[in-house]
Chain A
Amino acid sequence: MTSSPEVFPARGRRRYTRLHWRCRSKGAADAALSQISRSDIRVAKPAQKNLPASPAELISYYREMLFIRHFEEKCNLAYRTGKAGGYLHVYIGMEPLVVGWLNNIRKGHDYVITAYRDHGHALVLGSDPVATMAEIMGRSGGQSRGKGGSMHIYDIDKQFYGGWGIVGGHTALGGGLAMAAKYRKEDRVTLCYLGDGAANAGVFFETLNMCGLWQLPIIFIIENNLYAMGTALERHAADPQLYKRGFPFNMKHERVDGHDLVEVLNHSKRIIDDCRENSQPYLIEAMTYRNMGHGAADNDRQLYRTKEEEDEYMKRDCIRLYEAFLDSNSILSRSEMEKIDAEELDRAETIYEEADKSPFPDPEQVYTDVYTDMTPEMGH
């Protein structure tokens, strides 16, 4: 054993060396990543040659990316036309983080939880898209019969645990899901998504501590889209390399690319397998970008980011990047892609219309679901 026990005298030499070993296990990659500056982050890797899935699967992922995009453009339309209200946040630009990760878990078995930017998760997990759109429109046909809305989509049959509006608050719930899996000795992993802004919340650190302490089978995925609403990463995080926050909590931690679906498919598989097999907690920082405003109500992005920056990211939008990959690997021709694009747009339109037919909730619904077994006093 080689180490300097004085550094952590209270905890002893043995633990220190192990900790050291664990966190260095990625060695060079880690060191290289820690050197990355923000401008480097933007340079997504070129398409790879080794395919992460079968051609049929790769095509279905393409469909899914387009479907989410068209679906969410319809969400924005619903907002603009007054069919959706409140707060509404789309995943446009970040789709690989759901299409890549969630196609590598055991859907309906593994637990998934996220914040309010949650439509994509529900769609990839196979929740009824008409119900999701109806929920966003506040209709009785929604998963929560119109009581949740865009920020609060849940589908318990798909083990999708939402859908939360308190920044950082849901990370503790995610820890609890993983704790439940370990308590029951089940082989479920929990994927807990959060934003870069949420990574500053106190309860997130508390949760990391317990997940590291008890070595829970959970993967925290920080969707680092460089902004917490209108506050840039460098202006909200003392150290903008958020993945390092796994280090003190005895978790494996990595910064990964979230633009390139092929990359995401590759690393997510490796990480999910390790998490499941070894009950190994992870803190993943996935570099991504949201193409649109923070929410549908954010109509002045220039307050916090430049047009030039946006243009640069738009050139390498995740869907375009994936199209280049499909094209260069002869998985799909450009004309086939166009056809799929048109089909998915049609599908989104049909869903929008279907959802719009769903009735508003009955007034008496206001009193139901407060408790499992009683109704609050009427009128109080």
Chain B
Amino acid sequence: MTNMTYRDAVRLAMIEEMDRDQNVFIMGEDIGKYKGTFRVTDGLFERYCQEPRDWLVEPPHPEILDGVGRRVIDTPITEPGIVGMATGAAMTGLRPIVEMMTMSFSILALDQIINHAAKIHYMTGGQISVPLVIRGPGGAANQLSAQHSHSMEGWYAHVPGLKVVAPATPNCAKGMLKAAIRDDNPVIFTENPGLYSMKGDVSDDVDEIIPFGKARIAKEGKDISLIAYSRMVNVSLAAAELLAADGIDAEVVDVRSLLPLDTETIYNSVRKTHRAVVVYEDWKSGGFGAEIAARIAQDCFDDLDAPVGRVGGLNVPMPYARVLELQCIPNEQDVLAEVRKIG
């Protein structure tokens, strides 16, 4: 185990997989020379582009591609094109990782992701698969306001054909990104920007992957289940500490994989505690937490001692002013209030 930040863990996963498999490459805006807006790809360009002219055309146009690498590719600002090109390359068996500068920009590429990447395996009757990873920061950062703060994972988890994960810890980030890169299906991998500097112990085993579809018990408890993913796991853990002071022993379930969803672990927790509050950063209305809550309500009806609670983001565009922004993002007090509300 090595203690490192979430950002370093994401990078390490990419390095290990790129070292392991020549088919893996990364493309995106400002990910090479500029090292990525959140510095996640720091050092990759130097590591993999010793011959920056590797795939450059010979004259007459050497200058055009100056500084463009073969395995770490700086692209123009052209999200639909990037995802489409990566998908096309993936159809031939390459394993591209697309870094979205933020997941908010993946909205431009929805057509390529949903109409194309997610449908290919099915439409071709299994002839073609798309081993593609789209990863990047998703969710609110710090005063990035309305166009840069979207939580997209719920939108994608709606789409059959995609896999969607949102790890909360550095170790999960590394293990699950490695799983994503090795997966033969298109995977949306979201990294909450608030997690990048968080530290944690990360496995040193280059072969250890964390398979999708397996939730994690972040903290055991017996009185209530707080069910969350991504940064909201930390919020739930903080809430659990406050609840402990009141003598309430909360269990925190880190869903971490939205599609496929491990309902079994969630249900087992609820069957033990008989109470559930789902915590998610996305807009409360129609967010993925609503799906989890609905399933618990339906499938664990007889085990519940209270209605299923939900804590989600306010149903407004993200405001700029810090005081307003903080109002929109769920925090531990919101969780506490919901726990008290359901009683």
A residues within 8 Å of B by Cβ?
A: 14-15, 18, 21-22, 111, 113, 142-148, 152, 154-156, 161-166, 169-185, 202-203, 206-207, 209-210, 213-215, 250, 279, 368-374, 376
Give the chain B neighbours of A146 by CB distance below 8 A: 125
Q: Please, which residues of chain B bring their CB within 8 A of the CB of A373?
A: 183-185
* B65 neighbours in A (Cβ, 8 Å): 213-215
Q: Say yes or no: B125 contacts A172, CB within 8 Å.
A: no
Q: Which 6 A-B pairs have the closest CB atoms?
A: A176-B88, A172-B84, A206-B81, A144-B125, A173-B88, A215-B57
Q: Which residue of B lies closest to A166 (CB)?
A: B115
Chain B CB within 10 A, most for which of A14, A161, A166, A371 = A371
Choice from A179, A206, A215 contacting B80 with Cβ under 8 Å = A206
CB-CB < 8 A to A369: which residues of B? Answer: 121-122, 124-126
B89–A179 contact, CB under 8 A? Answer: yes
List 20 interface pairs A-B (beta carbons < 8 Å), by A numbering: A142-B125, A143-B125, A164-B116, A166-B115, A172-B88, A175-B84, A178-B88, A179-B89, A180-B92, A183-B94, A203-B81, A206-B80, A214-B65, A215-B56, A215-B57, A279-B57, A368-B126, A369-B122, A370-B121, A370-B122
Q: Residues of B contacting A183 with CB < 8 Å? A: 25, 55, 70, 89, 94
Contacts of A147 in B (CB 8 A): 122-125
Please tell me if B343 contacts chain A, counting CB pairs below 8 Å.
no
Given contacts A183-B94, A203-B111, A371-B163, is CB(A176)–CB(B121) below 8 Å?
Answer: no
Contact with A along B119-139 (1 / 0, CB 8 A): 001111111110000000000
Q: Closest A residue to B125 by CB, please name it.
A: A144
Given contacts A203-B81, A250-B64, A371-B185, contact A176 B127 (CB under 8 A): no
Q: Which of A14, A152, A175 interacts with B123 by CB under 8 Å?
A: A152
A370 & B84 in contact (Cβ 8 Å cutoff): no
- Kindly report which residue of chain A lies nearest to residue B68, judged by CB atoms: A214
Contact B116 A207 (CB under 8 A): no
Asked if B86 is an interface residue, CB under 8 A from chain A, the answer is yes
B60 at the A interface (CB under 8 A): yes
A146 to B75, CA, bound (A): 37
Residues of A within 8 Å of B84, CB to CB, are 169, 171-173, 175-176, 203, 206-207
Q: Which residues of A contact B163 (CB under 8 A)?
A: 371
